[in-house]
Every structure is written in C-alpha cells, then in structure tokens.
Amino acid sequence: MKTFKALESVKTEQGNTTSIIEKSINDLPEGDLLIKVSYSSLNYKDALSASGSPGVTRNYPHTPGIDAVGIIEESADSSFQEGDKVIVTGYDLGMNTSGGFGQYIRVPSSWAIPLPDGLEEKDSMCLGTAGLTAGLSVHALDKHNAHNGFSGTNTIVTGSTGGVGSIALMLLSKLGSNVTAVTGKESEKELLLSLGASEVVSREDLAEMTRTPVGKSIWDFGVDVVSGNILTLLLASLKPGGAVACSGMVGGPSFESSIFPFILRGNALLGIDSVEISLEQKTQIWKNFASDWSLDLTNTVKEVNLEGLETEISTILKGGQVERVLVNLN
C-alpha cells in the first residue's frame, strides 16, 4: 500500500499539536483526481487550521494546505489525463478536506485547473491563494475603472508585507500605478520600496493623512486585507469614482463608515472571494500571471520542506511573516 508524508494537526486537551506522519493513500477522501503534490504554500488560513480554529476546520486529525500544484496520477474524469499538471486552490481543500501539506491529495475534478503554459509549478505556488487574491483584487479594480488600466493612478495597499499585499503591490507597480504601501513593520520599508512602492507609510501616518467620514481625496484605488479602522480610513480618502478591493480581516471583521463616501464621491467597496469563485474566473487570473502579469518573486519567497513548516506556522500566527512561504513536497 502506497504511503506518503504529511503534516497532521491533532486536537488535544492542551490545544492542537502538529507532526509529520506517514499516511496511506487509502486515508484520502474520495475524489476524481489523485494528485502527487509538488509544491504548496503557507497562508494565514492554513495556520489557523493547524492551530485548531473551528471557523476553518471542524474535524481533526487533519492535514491543512489550501494550495497545491502537482501531477495527476489517477483520473476518473476524461477531461484530465495521467501526467497532467494541475493547480488546486480554495473550495474545501485544506479546510475539511485533506490538503496540500501532504504529498498526495484526492479531490473532485471540478476543483482543478490545468497549469497554464508559461507558468512553472514552483512559480504558481510562490503566488498561491495570496497571488490569486491579489490578482482578483486588481482585476476587480480594473473592471471598476472600465478597463482603462492603472498607468499614472495612485493606489494604496494595506498589509503590504503579507502575501496578498506584497503581490498586489508588485503587480500594481508593474501595471504603472504609484503605490503607497501601508505597514505596521517599519523595519521593512526598504523591502517594500524594492518591491515597487512609491512611498511607505505607517498605520499612524495613514490616520494623520485623512479624517472620517470623508477626508482629502488622495487615492484612486485601494487594496485592503486588514479591514477595521484601516478600511474606514481608506474609504474616507478615495478620489471621486474610486474603489477599494477588500479581501481580509486581519484588523477584525467589523469597520465603521457612513454613506458619504458612496453618495458624495461615488466610491465603491468591492468584496473579493478567492475560495468559491468559478473555475473560469480562477483560470483567467492564472493565465494572466503566466503572461502579462508575470512577476519575479525570487526575493519575496522562503522555501521550506514539511519539517520546516511548524516554525513558519508559529511565525505567521504571531504576525511575523514577511516573505511568502513556499512548501516543497518533492
């Protein structure tokens, strides 16, 4: 019986613990595709799952990992063949379905998309769900702007040292926007400037730059992963017709605002879902990253194996992650 290595989280009276174990292929859930995972990536949601958050994962023992890329070894769907390379992100992968922190996954074929030409397996997981979310945010803002592009625009990005924020920053800069990066890690200013930020401001700086409910018009667009008071400040400082794409809640699930940014300036708040969106939408974003949106993520990624994951999970839970974490399952 074929076995493979996986990180497993187990719930105990003292809290969840993780370890690397040997699992059997028969331990995997039913599904159309058996995939040998090449790479995964570490997201905040993975860390929550590993640490026992019931809002992410209900049943333990469990293998987290909401991202995976790999090669199909068995297919019950004629649209996929043995040897095809595929990306799987979102849906229930790594939440209540055994995820990408194992060397094998078995999933429905409706969760998988072919790896686009021009995108390597490793590069796809340097992006992962964080890159997909950043890409969806940029796409939503471009659509709001009638696809007029970002050249010469001013955009503010929060959580800019995190996965979504750093990739959004790099992509918007590549597309010609002047990007203001907001961070609580002032020691990372030089890093953010090297990624393409035009300026770097602290959260305190941002609070001094505007007032609520409507302040000075500063930015055309915003990408926010924080929510809370930061999102309130962004909405108050948009130019007429501007929009914020919101995809996270590091600062909490609630924020205060008023009707004024929306009716006095025609601003918009765009919600970004990277989990349950259609395969067609995901496919288009991945194709963009394989072509016009191609990014060099070499200096923003730390590569670890399964044995190195526990340390990185602890780091991200403490808010200390700066680099994207690529997980090598080979």
Q: What confidence tens digit (pLDDT) does each residue in 3-47 have?
A: 999 999 999 988 899 999 999 999 999 999 999 999 999 999 999
| Domains of the chain from N-terminus onward | 3-115+297-328 (3.90.180.10), 128-271 (3.40.50.720)
Largest Cα span, the chain: 66
Q: Quote the mean pLDDT of the chain.
A: 94
Residue 115 predicted with pLDDT over 90: yes
Residue 250 predicted with pLDDT over 90: no
pLDDT at site 11: 92
* Tokens 């790999």, residue located: 70
Residues near 153 by beta carbon (within 8 Å), at least 6 away in sequence: 145, 176, 177, 178, 220, 221
Strand partners, 258: none
Residue 300 predicted with pLDDT over 90: no
Tell me the two tokens of residue 112: 């998988």
- Tell me what the mean pLDDT of segment 124-147 comes to: 96
- Tell me what the mean pLDDT of segment 239-250 comes to: 94
Query: Could you give the CA distance from residue 266 to residue 262 in angstroms, rounded to a whole number?
Result: 5
pLDDT at site 274: 92
Query: How does residue 251 score in pLDDT terms, banded at 50, 70 and 90?
Result: confident
Tell me the two tokens of residue 180: 């203001």
pLDDT at site 185: 84
Q: What confidence tens digit (pLDDT) does each residue in 39-57 have?
A: 999 999 999 999 999 989 9
Tell me the two tokens of residue 140: 């939503």
Residue 74 predicted with pLDDT over 90: yes
Does residue 146 come out as left (phi exceeding 0), alpha (psi in the -120 to 50 range) or beta? left
Query: Could you give the CA distance from residue 62 to residue 77 in angstroms, rounded to a whole number?
Result: 26
- Tell me what the mean pLDDT of segment 108-121 comes to: 97
pLDDT at site 256: 87
Tell me the two tokens of residue 156: 């503010």
Query: How does residue 313 score in pLDDT terms, banded at 50, 70 and 90?
Result: very high
Query: How does residue 211 score in pLDDT terms, banded at 50, 70 and 90?
Result: confident
pLDDT at site 200: 96
Determine how β-strand 3-12 pairs with β-strand 15-24: antiparallel
pLDDT at site 253: 86
DSSP class of residue 108?
-
Residue 177 predicted with pLDDT over 80: yes
